[in-house]
Every structure is written in structure tokens, then in C-alpha cells.
Amino acid sequence: MSDDFVLPVELPKIDPHRLQRVRTLWVGALCSVEEVIVQDTGSYAVLKQMHPEHRSDPGLAARCINEGLILQRLHMHQRVAGIPQLLKMGILPNGCPALLLERLGDALAEQLSAFDAQTKPDAQAFLIDLGRQLTQTLSLIHNQGIVHRDLRPDNILFSHPSQRSKEQRFPDAYVIDFGLAKVFDREVFLPVSTGEEDLLGTDLYMAPEQWESAKHVTGSADVYSLGVILYQLASGRTPFSHPKRNVLMYQHMVSAPPPLPSYIPSALGAIILDMLRKRPSIRPSAKECTERLLALC
């Protein structure tokens, strides 16, 4: 760790003594996420902070800061559905950038094992509603010149039970973790280099073109990743899976997904399979997916 490392932008200080730690929610290679209580207000929040051992890497620090800038941009004019609210972006006493975010509920990943689209009541209606919510959110993200590049069940959270009304049939869904996002408006964000052959994303959910180069993907790659997630919910498994990475890559790039179960309505199945088309130019946009899913509600 370099003691004279200077962050690429000036950030306000975040005083950890004003945050009461409740529990650790997640620990990753770059960051950790903790549930905290903000002592000034008594409200719950989430603190996402970069690990100190990465503090000397300006590229990783820039990705953390850019995530906060992305959230600020998406909420620039008004709070938007499907995107977590950024409460504060700053720097901790150890020199690491951190984000203070609104607290949300469980991740979709925690519900996958119990989800059964064939027998669980309202499962197919939930699947359609979830697809509608997430395609609307992706459309908003893409319209702002942002590609998420790592959409997966761990990065989809639901509203906290305390945020839901009794009349609400399904929880609100949120897209989180913009640490690998691609932004087209370079003037607004800190420079981060993505190589021509860099692979960014999560193997089970990466679009064919993302296996070739994460640098040049468009919003269509996010549509594909969401198609994998909806396929997984509908069938109980991802369309492609193999322990060898090169085989999994071949499946995503060449193989047709297995047919969906017969209990999935044909119109819903057609949307999911269209989202999984190999060529990004013939996949529907997020907005087109929303319109087709709304017709099924």
C-alpha cells in the first residue's frame, strides 16, 4: 500500500464513528458491504467500501468512485425506480473510497433455490412482473449511456419488507453494483481502461459478444444477461453450464438454449428466447422487452 497515493478526485470525509455496524452483508475481491445505522438519523443504510489493500491502484479506486457518479447521474433530476439511492459518496480515514447507500432487501440469488415456476402460486406472474421491472430499469440505464456488464442474480435486490405496502403484490426490484459498468460519456466519469480482450462479467450470464470483448458491448449485452436470469427462473437452471470455461464460452457463442419447459406460456418463452439470441443486432431492446411483457400482464 502506498502512503502517498492520492485519489483522482477530492471526496468528502465519511466518519465511520457516525455509522453503527449491524452486520456484514457481502465481501468481494474489491469491496465489502455492511449494513449500518446512521447515528445522526437512526436510519438503516448500507456502506460499500473498497478494501485497503487496493488503495494504491488508481484504476480500481476510479471504478468505485464511478459507481457513485453513475448513481448520481441516474438520479440527477428525480429519484428513479429500480436504482438504489446514493446517500453519500466519500472517503474513509484509511483513504479508501466508500458509498453510503439506501438499505434494500434480499438478493434474487437467495430466492433461486426455492423458486418453482411450475407449482409455486403466482410464480409466473412474478416472473413477468420481475422481467417488466428490470427491462424498464435497463432501458433507463441504457438511455443514459451506461451498460451494466454484470447483471446476475446477486446484483438484483428487492425492496426491504419495511418499504412495501400491504397492497403491493410483488416487491420492487433494483439493479445494483455498477463497478464494471461501461459509460459512453467520458467527460462525466473518471478514466478506466478496458482492454480489447478483457473479459468482464460473470461467466454464466455473459453475452456472446462479451466473451469476445467487454470493451465494445452495448446495452444488448445486458438484455442477454437478463434473458439468462429469466430462463433460469422459468426452468430451474441456466441455459448453459459447464465446469470448463472454454466450453461454457462456446455454448454461449454457438449453442442454442434448450427448450423451456412446456408449462411456461409460449408468449413468455418467446420473449426470453429472443433475449438470448446470439447476435446483438437481432435481440430486442430493453424497451421492446418491456412492451412485450406488459402485454402479458
249's CB contacts (< 8 A; 6+ apart) are: 203, 211
What is the Cα–Cα distance from 32 to 216, expressed in whole angstroms?
29
Query: One of 4, 40, 106, 150 is an active-site residue; which one?
Result: 150
Phi/psi region, residue 122 (left: phi>0; alpha: psi -120 to 50; beta: rest), is left
Distance CA 225, CA 276 (A): 8
Report the distance separating Cα 75 and Cα 80, nearest Å: 6
Contact predicate 55/61, CB 8 Å: yes
DSSP E strand stretches across 160-209: 173-175, 182-183
Residue pair 290/135 in contact (Cβ under 8 Å)? The answer is yes
Say whether 150 is catalytic. yes
The grid coordinates of residue 235 equal 426452468
d(CA 297, CA 289): 13
Q: Is 82 helix (H, G, I), strand (E, B) or coil?
A: coil
CA atoms within 13 A of residue 289's CA, in its CB half-sphere: 35
Residue with cell 408468449: 267
Residues annotated as catalytic are 150
